[in-house]
Structure 1
Amino acid sequence: MAVSLQVIYPISDGKTFDFDYYTSTHFDLVGEHMGAHMDSMLVTKGLAGGPDVPPGIFAVASLLFKDQDALNAAMQAAGPVLEDIPNFTNVQPQMLIGEVIS
């Protein structure tokens, strides 16, 4: 069964996020170290939390894997990706690993 890894970067006071670095450098690291194990990746930049509500999240990265074994292999290769996070944000990302049901 397919599984997903979502990496969520919440907004709070004093937190920053460099989208230029994220898209120009961090994405390349994800592809280099985890890409062989992924089926796809979708990244969403937060624009709003609803009508006339500022966003509560900088970004959400959704990575899709064929199965748990593929996710496990990607996570074993993810060291350089995780080490790069402080280069674009001071946010402690939240992660959600889930079964893809639709």
Structure 2
Amino acid sequence: MIKVHVLYPNKDDVTFDFDYYCNKHVPMIVGLLGEAVTGATVDAGIASVVPGEAAPYVAISTISFDSIESFQTAFGPHAEKIKADVPNFTNAIPIMQLSEQKL
């Protein structure tokens, strides 16, 4: 299984609309990518491991696929539309990482 992690760095001036993200952006992605998506989660950062420090990421989204190829085939044609929606919910610049689940 392949997981696409989208991490939104947290800074003092970062804004993030979880309502929009969870109810519009993620459903849009799942709708566009269709059956290639095998699961999706959204986590809100609440704290650092150091007491009193803010979480390093305001949000982390994980979307699962069977393979890198299924992700690339599904995502490629819709990449620009998905990226164009980002300013509708955050001013953070997302970081993406593809990972292979081992456990």
TM-score bucket of the superposed structures, by smaller chain: 0.7 to 0.9
Q: Is there any run of 5+ residues in structure 1 with no aligned partner, and where?
A: none
SS in 1 for 2:85: helix
Contact 1:33 1:81 in 2 (8 A): no
Cα shift at 1:77 = 3.6
TM-score (norm 2): 0.87
Using the aligned pairs only, state the percent identity.
Answer: 29
Runs of 4+ more than 3 Å apart: none
Contact map agreement 1:34 1:77 (CA 8 A) in 2: no
- Which stretch shifts more, 75-84 or 4-13? 75-84
Aligned residues: 101
Map of 2:95 onto structure 1: 94
What residue identity is the alignment partner of 2:11?
A: S
Q: Corresponding residue for 2:44?
A: 45
- How far residue 83 of structure 1 moved from its aligned partner, in angstroms, is 1.3
The CA deviation at 1:84 is 0.5
Structure 2 residue runs of 5 or longer lacking an equivalent are: none
Instruction: Report the aligned-residue RMSD.
Output: 1.4
Determine the C-alpha separation between the residues in 2 that align with 1:43 and 1:15: 17
Residue 37 of structure 1 contacts residue 70 of structure 1 at CA under 8 Å; is this kept in 2? yes
- Higher mean Cα deviation, 92-101 or 27-36? 27-36
TM-score, with normalisation over the residues of structure 1? 0.88
Deviation at 1:20, TM superposition (A): 1.4
SS in 2 for 1:78: helix
The aligned residue for residue 56 of structure 1 is 56
2:86 corresponds to: 85
2:77 counterpart of 1:73: no
